[in-house]
Amino acid sequence: MPSTFRTNGPSSPRQSFRSGHPGRQRPSGLRRFPSWLNRHRRLVVALLLCAAAGISVQQLTPAPAHTVTALASTRDLPAGTALSSNEVVLVEVPPGMMPAGSYADSAAIVGKQLAAPLRKGQLISDTQLLGPGLLAGTPPGSAAVPLRMADPSSIQLVAPGQLVNIVMTNGTDYGKAAESQVLAASVPVLWTSGQGGQTGQWLGTGETEGLIVVAADPDQARRLAGSSTQGKLFFVMVGAPG
């Protein structure tokens, strides 16, 4: 009788497949992981969302900005104020906001006089103080020229920044018609004695009544130099050229 094929013997292919080799079986931890993941899927999703949010915040948060030290006014200050350490404070600003000619040390500006009003918090630079800084932006060779007006009370009508024509009148003799000529046209006023400030930034004496200081180019400066000894000086306020 022919032999039959035995399917449950030791050499059965199915049995051999089930038994396999010990090295090919999955570790018990890996077999349990899908079950654990299924039971705690909400927790896993929440953790992943938190991680994603944290990464997004880190990417969107800008790095700390680099800053520099500057001086700013602690309150509104009128023109003519002689600055003291109580009127300024050190502030940190981005480098791009720091104007040229700014100060980083209060000792550098103590006693200097404001040529224009300052608002609280405004940064302080040399263009706001009496001195060479007021000539910033003027043509090369420009000079600050002090002039004594024939009518001192007229100084109250003009402020720094105003454009004026400087006119000289030399007809002083009785019966002689006055002759006038424009010595300088549309020159900006830098300072006036009507501001009530201290002297010494432009002049070394206290004789400032009726004085104004204007910015003049070299040709205008030559005509204005000594003009107060040749006749009476007046100013005429004019607007900016169109």
CATH of the domain at 99: 3.90.1210.10
- Which range (1-10, 81-90, 206-215, 232-241) has the least confidence? 1-10
Here the tokens at position 208 are 């400032």
Instruction: Mark which of 99, 114, 129 sits at the end of a domain.
Output: 129
Domain count, the chain: 2
47 belongs to a structural domain: no
CA dihedral for 194, 195, 199, 200, sign (positive or negative): negative
Instruction: Mark which of 111, 129, 147 sits at the end of a domain.
Output: 129
Task: Say whether both 218 and 180 belong to one domain.
Answer: yes
Average pLDDT, the chain: 78
Q: List, for residues 115-131, the tens digit of each pLDDT value.
A: 888 899 999 998 888 88
What pLDDT sits at residue 221?
A: 93
DSSP 12: -
What pLDDT sits at residue 224?
A: 93
Residue 80, pLDDT > 50, answer yes
Residue 10, pLDDT > 70, answer no
Which of 233, 80, 237 is closest to 147 using CA atoms?
233
Give yes or no for a contact between 214 and 143, defined as CB atoms under 8 angstroms apart: no
What pLDDT sits at residue 25?
A: 57
Domain that holds residue 79: 68-129
Residue 17, pLDDT > 70, answer no
Confidence of residue 139 (pLDDT cuts 50, 70, 90): confident
Task: Say whether both 165 and 221 belong to one domain.
Answer: yes
Confidence of residue 206 (pLDDT cuts 50, 70, 90): low
Average pLDDT (188-200) is 69
What pLDDT sits at residue 217?
A: 93
CB atoms < 10 A from the CB of 53, how many? 10
Task: Say whether both 159 and 120 belong to one domain.
Answer: no
Residue at token pair 């009726």: 210
State percent of the chain over pLDDT 70.
Answer: 70
Task: Say whether both 107 and 162 belong to one domain.
Answer: no
